[in-house]
Amino acid sequence: MKAVDLSTHPGHLARRLQQAHHLLWNAMVSQEITSPQFAVLNALTAEPGLDQRTVGERVGLDRSTVAEVITRLLRRGLLDKVRDPQDGRRFLLHLTDDGVGTHRRLARRTVGMNQVFLGPLSVDEQRTLFGLMYRVAEAAEALRVPEEGRP
């Protein structure tokens, strides 16, 4: 059997892109706050007072991953959680003052990182890439949540 051409395997290319993103993130944005942690801070900047499940949905993290990310952010003092007055079983999440400052600082740094990461592409190519990636990501999300009656 011949070796396969991995340049035609989206998973292989996605892993390579993720490695490049991780290296750039650590070099240009933060070695302390991860990209998924930033995504949670960003979601709560956009919509303060979300519960953990909703935050996970907004940023595309599964239950266990979002729980771990939120626990780390709570320990760092970047998030606060308060009991939902409408439903005592739920907790609502808010950024602390340190969380707001951290988000603001990192958001500025992500602009430069994204310019480097996307540097090989023209503006039109970047738009096309984002559109295609978004479509694939949305389709993949649909696979994670099985429809009623579907195995």
Specify if 8 maps to a domain. no
Specify if 5 maps to a domain. no
Specify if 84 maps to a domain. yes
Specify if 88 maps to a domain. yes
CATH number of the domain within which 113 lies? 1.10.10.10
- What is the torsional sign of CA 96, 72, 140, 113? positive
Specify if 10 maps to a domain. no
pLDDT of 18 higher than 50: yes
Specify if 150 maps to a domain. no
Task: Please say whether the beta carbons of 66 and 52 come within 8 A.
Answer: yes
Residue from 139, 148, 110 nearest 21 by CA: 110
| Long-range CB pairs of 45-51, under 8 A, 24+ apart, other chains included | 45/95, 45/100, 45/103, 48/93, 48/94, 48/95, 49/92, 49/93, 49/94, 50/92, 50/93, 51/84, 51/90, 51/91, 51/92, 51/93
Angle at 102 between CA 97 and CA 103, to 5 degrees: 100
Residue from 66, 88, 70 nearest 80 by CA: 70
Specify if 22 maps to a domain. no
- Please tell me the predicted confidence (pLDDT) of residue 145: 58
Specify if 9 maps to a domain. no
Count of domains forming the chain: 1
Residue pLDDT, tens place only, 97-119: 999 999 999 999 999 999 999 99
Its pTM stands at: 0.87
Range of the domain at 127: 29-144
Across the range 9-34, mean pLDDT stands at 96
- Please tell me the predicted confidence (pLDDT) of residue 100: 98
